[in-house]
Structure 1
Amino acid sequence: WWEVGSEPHSNNSGEGGLISYFSCYDSFYDAYKMVFPFQDSVQGYKSQNKFLNKEILELTILLRNAEARERSLEVKYVALEAKVCQVESKYLVLLQDLKNPVCSSSEQSPAREVISRLLEDALNNTDPTGHAVFKPHPVSEYDVFGFKTVPEEDDEEEKLVAKVRALDLPSLSPYPEVSVGVKWENYLSTMNRDMHKLINDFLPPSFQVWRWCVSYHTRKFRDSLAPNYYETLLGVARDKPNPASKQIELDLLRTLPNNKHYSSPGADGIQKLRNVLLAFSWRNPDIGYCQGLNRLAAIALLYLDQEDAFWCLITIVEVFMPQDYYTKTLLGSQVDQRVFKDLLSEKLPRLHAHFDLYKVDSSLITFNWFLVLFVDSVNSDLLFKIWDAFLYEGPKIIFRFALALFKYKEEEFLKLQDSMAIFKYLRYFTITILDWRKLMSIAFVDMNPFPLRQILNRRTFHLEKVRLELTELEAIRQTFLRERDTHTDAGALCSDDEEDN
């Protein structure tokens, strides 16, 4: 210390040099104590500044792209406006010429020349910028999910609706996929977004939100199970006799015959579907297999791998739906149909009264909606939007969308004054609905308030009634069987002459 402290002081006063040193040291230390708390703040501001600079750069690029796109659209608009003026002038010339009588069909009139030019323009269908003008979209055989766009053996009216649906309508959406993708990415990483708003936006197929939802709802099962639980379960189901396997095999090709992934024995989805259903039947021996489970699993496999599709089926059957929904009695399904009729009478009283007037039982159609979550009832784009909301919020979504579908076409139903016409329209009206944004608005805005407590209370009320009815029906069935057996035994003891008499 002495040497260091006395080094800057070459005078003979060693003690004074040491004091001076420590005095400088104290001053430096005091200054350091004042600066030190701000070092983290400075570092934070540097990081923030770097981030903001990056944001500014990205926003600048986006702004330039938007400006370039706007200029391009302005050019296209001017070109289209000029094209419209040209076409209008040609039609005016044509109409003017048509005022004069035509003496001979073989005579070359100015009208014929104008018509030829109009036909030629229509076939060329391009503007001066090279963009297509009113060019129809080609209808592909399958959509992006593998569903056939136009059915082969259907009513002509339904086939026409399917052709309209097959047009590339999503391309008309003004909302770009990338921006919504960023929203989903931010939500899944920060968990601080409004999930309902994101679900109401277009969900790009590349984002595996389904997997996240399934994992969230089944974590209470999976945490207590081995990591290879699905593979172990599948191995057991394959090796041991399974009473459900025969019915599963019969239903594999009936599952989604209009989807290329399940349309033939060699299709890529058939074996996956078989595995998921076998594993599920072994996990749930009380259910085994119920018609409807195959469709649920098939839709899940269009988004998820086998194991996640298996857990998706678990989520639907064991977490979301009430008990006995997929058992032989379909008790839970019957109860939900009665709950839905109550809601229909409250939310859409005019339509409910209209159905009652013409003795139309809507459950003949809606029963399948609830059992398989609208599979084969709505177009594929709308189906996956419904499933997005369902996997996030649960079974209340089925009631919302079932009511929204009827609300969407309520006026069309009210115009029909015949029970057969109403029932025919019931069979296919859902596939005529293409505007999913309007349907979302009806489901989540027009149908409010929509408390879950109300549905649960109504389920409890109707459950007791249905159980009582089933008990009475079983008693009647047993009485009938006893009487039939008694009559059969008596008949066996009769002579031929007595039987003839």
Structure 2
Amino acid sequence: MEKNNKATNGSRSVAGRAKDRIDSVDPYGFERSDDFDYESYEELMSEYLAVLTRRAIKWSKYLKGGAGVQRNVKLKRYVRKGIPNEHRALIWMVASGAQEQMEKYPGHYQSMLQAQHDGKLLETICTDLNRTFPDNVHFRKTSNPCMQKALHNVLLAYGHHNPAVGYCQGMNFIAGYLLIIAKDEEKSFWLMEALFSRILPDYYTPDMLGLKTDQEVLGELVKAKVPSVWQTMMEHDVMWTLVVSRWFICLYIDILPTETVLRIWDCLFYEGSKILFRVALTLIHHHQALIQEAKSLPDVCQAFKQITRGPFVEECHTFMEKIFNEPGSLSMATLTKLRVTCRDRLVAERS
């Protein structure tokens, strides 16, 4: 009996020691959940930190090389293997074209911020501020500085910059993540502009036609690459919008672990929207047996929630290697062709 108690106390103390070493708030300000597995996380990070250290040394040498940051095969390879957090804002800005735009239009952000504010736009943005990352310490009104003010400014400036769009669902989370990484309003604004204007056009518009199109495109890709899952979806009459809309509209924020999301965004800013499909296809392909077990529509929805959790997505370095291998080839030409077909179909259905 005494031996068992010692063993139990020992295991508790291991968990306790792990918790003591790991903050209850992650490096980005997000509070860890009550059921957060501190032991598993410590074990995972002990391996990942070695990877991060190696990458940081290589990035440091690359950036000190004197040639500047240029889009080429080497940079693409480096981006896929992960950008150290201290260099993320710089690489995102250059890779996405945001830096070029910011330099081309100096003072534009401030002029948009100081424009005559649209009352309805202002009201809509203010309504969503308190809903943005309530579990992040940086976005609480008690924080100093409080990122809510910066978030308000970025969203308002973008609303005036692109009045046809203004503000719509999902923008607050995107802008919030950009502020956490860039720690700068103007850079966050131009990164948003790059995402919404060039990388993901028509995603964040009143009719969200680009978003709806890409959900249909994913369905076509699953039909070709993972037909057993496509068959399951058809059998239970599940629309792709029901299970993947949040994946796309939030760019995997609050769907996958923060570190994994940031690794995805590294590639998104460099390679464009096809990364979103690679992630989705990897999740679906890797868990096709689980999805096929579904006996009803609720079962399918539950399976799609389940596949975004656990070690497979938490081990972000391994996961990112998987997304470039598991789904097979995926060219922009293929995506462009499917987008035309799916968009035409959606437009025809609406008319």
TM-score band by shorter chain is: 0.7 to 0.9
Residue correspondence of structure 1 range 217-232 to structure 2 within 5 A: 217-219=97-99, 221-225=101-105, 227-232=106-111
Within 1, Cα distance between the matches of 2:321 and 2:118? Answer: 49
Does residue 41 of structure 2 align to residue 167 of structure 1? yes
Please, which of 330, 341, 348 is the counterpart of residue 450 of structure 1?
A: 330
AA partner of residue 244 (structure 2) = T
Larger displacement relative to structure 2 (259-268 or 269-278): 259-268
Aligned residue in 1 for 2:57: 182
Q: TM-score, normalised by structure 2?
A: 0.86
Aligned residue in 1 for 2:121: 244
**Deviation of residue 394 (structure 1)?**
0.9
Within 2, Cα distance between the matches of 1:134 and 1:141? Answer: 13
Any idea what SS the aligned residue of 1:450 has?
A: coil
AA partner of residue 79 (structure 2) = I
Does residue 27 of structure 2 align to residue 144 of structure 1? yes
**Deviation of residue 122 (structure 1)?**
6.8
Any idea what SS the aligned residue of 2:134 has?
A: coil
Aligned residue in 2 for 1:313: 192
Contact 2:199 2:273 in 1 (8 A): yes
| 1:447-475 deviation line (CA, Å, top 9, x unaligned) | 2211101101111122222222222xxxx
Any idea what SS the aligned residue of 2:120 has?
A: coil
Residue correspondence of structure 1 range 336-485 to structure 2 within 5 A: 336-432=214-310, 433-471=313-351
Contact 2:216 2:240 in 1 (8 A): no
Within 2, Cα distance between the matches of 1:136 and 1:200? Answer: 34
AA partner of residue 314 (structure 1) = E
Within 1, Cα distance between the matches of 2:319 and 2:83? Answer: 16
Closer, same or farther: CA 185–262 of 1 in aligned 2, 3 Å: same
Contact 1:242 1:282 in 2 (8 A): no
Contact 2:217 2:342 in 1 (8 A): yes
Within 2, Cα distance between the matches of 1:164 and 1:345? Answer: 39
Closer, same or farther: CA 164–402 of 1 in aligned 2, 3 Å: farther
Any idea what SS the aligned residue of 1:246 has?
A: helix
**Deviation of residue 370 (structure 1)?**
1.2
Within 1, Cα distance between the matches of 2:165 and 2:244? Answer: 22
The sequence identity of aligned pairs, in percent, is: 24
Larger displacement relative to structure 2 (259-268 or 248-257): 259-268
Contact 1:335 1:466 in 2 (8 A): yes
Please, which of 304, 325, 339 is the counterpart of residue 203 of structure 2?
A: 325
Within 2, Cα distance between the matches of 1:429 and 1:392? Answer: 26
Any idea what SS the aligned residue of 2:249 has?
A: helix
Within 2, Cα distance between the matches of 1:332 and 1:133? Answer: 49
Q: TM-score, normalised by structure 1?
A: 0.62
| Greater relative contact order structure (CA < 8 Å, 6+ sep) | 2
AA partner of residue 196 (structure 2) = V
Any idea what SS the aligned residue of 1:144 has?
A: coil
Within 2, Cα distance between the matches of 1:352 and 1:443? Answer: 19
Any idea what SS the aligned residue of 1:148 has?
A: coil
AA partner of residue 269 (structure 1) = M
Aligned residue in 1 for 2:132: 255
**Deviation of residue 224 (structure 1)?**
3.4
Contact 1:253 1:265 in 2 (8 A): no
Within 1, Cα distance between the matches of 2:173 and 2:80? Answer: 24
Any idea what SS the aligned residue of 2:18 has?
A: coil
**Deviation of residue 140 (structure 1)?**
3.9
Structure number with bigger Rg = 1
Please, which of 91, 112, 130 is the counterpart of residue 233 of structure 1?
A: 112
What residue ranges of structure 1 are gaps of 5+ in the alignment? 1-111, 126-131, 152-159, 472-501
What residue ranges of structure 2 are gaps of 5+ in the alignment? none
Contact 1:146 1:260 in 2 (8 A): yes
Aligned-residue CA RMSD in angstroms?
A: 2.7
Closer, same or farther: CA 283–180 of 1 in aligned 2, 3 Å: same
